[in-house]
Amino acid sequence: MKEFIEKMPKAELHVHIEGTLEPELSFALAQKNKVALKAKSPEEMINAYDFYDLPSFLDIYYAGMSVLIEEDDFYQLTMAYLKRAAAQNIVYVELFFDPQAHTIRGVHFDTVISGIHAAQKDAHSELGIESQLILCFLRDMSAESAMEHLNMAEPHLDKLIGVGLDSDEKNNPPLKFAEVFSKARMWGLKLTMHCDVNQNNTLEHIRQVIEDIKVDRIDHGVNILESDALCELAKSKGLGLTVCPVSNKFVVQSLTSKELKKMLQQGLLPSINSDDPSYFRAYLNENLIALQEEGQFSKEDLVTLVANSFKTSWLSESRKLEYL
Ligand code: HPA
Ligand code: ZN
C-alpha cells in the first residue's frame, strides 16, 4: 500500500506555504537575517511543538515566520516545498499564503508574492511540478485589513487563482468577509474558506460559506456530516472538501478516517491534504499512509480520494482531463 500511495501522481489543494517552513531552513534564514530564535537547534524546535487545538498551533506557526524577510527567503521556502512535493509524485499544487502575517511585520506584500511566484515558475520549468497560488486572509484581523490586502493584490492578479480564509475561527464567521469575497469573485478569483473541525457554530459557518459567500470549495468542513441538508447542498454544487487528516489528529485525536469513509459513501468530494506539513511532521504521502492504516482504506478508495483532488482543483476542465 505504501508503495502504491507513493507512486500515484497526486495533487494537493490545502497547504499553507508558511506551514512548510522546515526547522533547518528556519535556522539558516535566522542566521542570515540576524533573527533570534528561542530554540538552540532544529531538534529542540521540533520538540517544542505542542499543539492541541487551533490557537495553540497558530501561536507557534506565526512565531515561526519571523525569519522570512527578503524576497529570496520566500523563494527558498516555496522551492523547498515544491521540491519535496515533486519527490512525492505530486504533480499539481494549490498553495495558500498569508500576506497579512508578513505585512504586519513590515515585510512588503510585493516581496512576499514575488518570491513565491518566482519559485513556482522555476519549479515548473526545472521539476515539472505545476502550482497556483491562493491569497488567504486572516479571519482574526479586520475586514478592512482584508480589503486593503485584496487591493494590494490587484497588480498581481495574474499570479493568483483564488482567495481563502484561515486563522482563528472563534467569533470570526465567514459573513464578516462577505464584501471582500464578493469583490474577489468580481475580479475572477475562485473562493474558498476554512471551516476547521469542531469550531463553535461550525454548521452555521459551513452554511454561510455555501449559501451566502458561495464558495467554490471548503477547507476542512468535516462537520458537514452532522447536517443532511448541508451535505445535499454541497453535493448538488459539486463542492470539494479539502480534509487534512494529520492536522485533524491534533484537534480531535483522530485522522477522521471514519468521517472520510462516510463522506465517500454519501457521494461528497473529499480530498486529502497536508495543511502545515513541517509543523505536523507529515507531507501528503505520510497523510495518506497514516489514514490508510487507521481506516483500512482500499486502493479504490485511495484512487477516489486522489481523483477528487484533481476533480475539485481549479485547473481548467480540459487540463483536469489529463489527470482523470
Ligand atoms: N486552520 C486555520 N488557520 C490556519 C491553518 C488551519 O488549518 N493552517 C494555517 N493557518
Ligand atoms: Zn489550513
Per-position DSSP letters for 217-269, written without gaps between them:
EEEE-GGGGG-HHHHHHHHHHT-EEEE-HHHHHHHHSS--HHHHHHHHHTT-E
Beta bridge partners of 192: 217
Q: Would you say 259 and 222 are in contact if contact means Cβ atoms under 8 Å apart?
A: yes
94, three cell numbers: 494549490
Q: How far is the CA of 217 from the centre of ligand 1 (A)?
A: 16
Q: What is the ipTM of this complex?
A: 0.96
Query: What's the pLDDT at 170?
Result: 97
Does the CA dihedral 294-57-96-73 come out positive or negative? negative
Query: What's the pLDDT at 48?
Result: 93
Query: What's the pLDDT at 324?
Result: 87
Query: What's the pLDDT at 265?
Result: 97
Q: Which ligand 1 atom lies nearest to the CA of residue 169?
A: 2
Q: Which residues of the chain have pLDDT under 50?
A: none
Query: What's the pLDDT at 39?
Result: 94
| Largest interatomic CA distance in the chain | 53
pTM of full prediction above 0.80:
yes
The CATH architecture to which 11-318 belongs is Alpha-Beta Barrel (3.20)
Q: Domain boundaries in the chain? A: 11-318
Amino acid identity for residue 89 in this structure: N
Note the helical H segments in the chain.
Answer: 2-7, 23-33, 42-47, 54-64, 71-87, 100-103, 109-127, 143-152, 178-186, 202-207, 228-237, 245-252, 257-265, 277-280, 284-295, 299-311, 317-323
Q: How far is the CA of 193 from the centre of ligand 2 (A)?
A: 9
Given ligand 1 and candidates 167, 168, 249, which is best to mutate, with the most ligand atoms within 8 Å of its CB?
A: 167
Task: Give residue ranges with CB within 6 A of ligand 1.
Answer: 16, 19, 54, 61, 166-167, 194, 196, 247, 275-276
pLDDT in tens, 28-61: 999 999 999 999 999 999 999 998 899 999 999 9
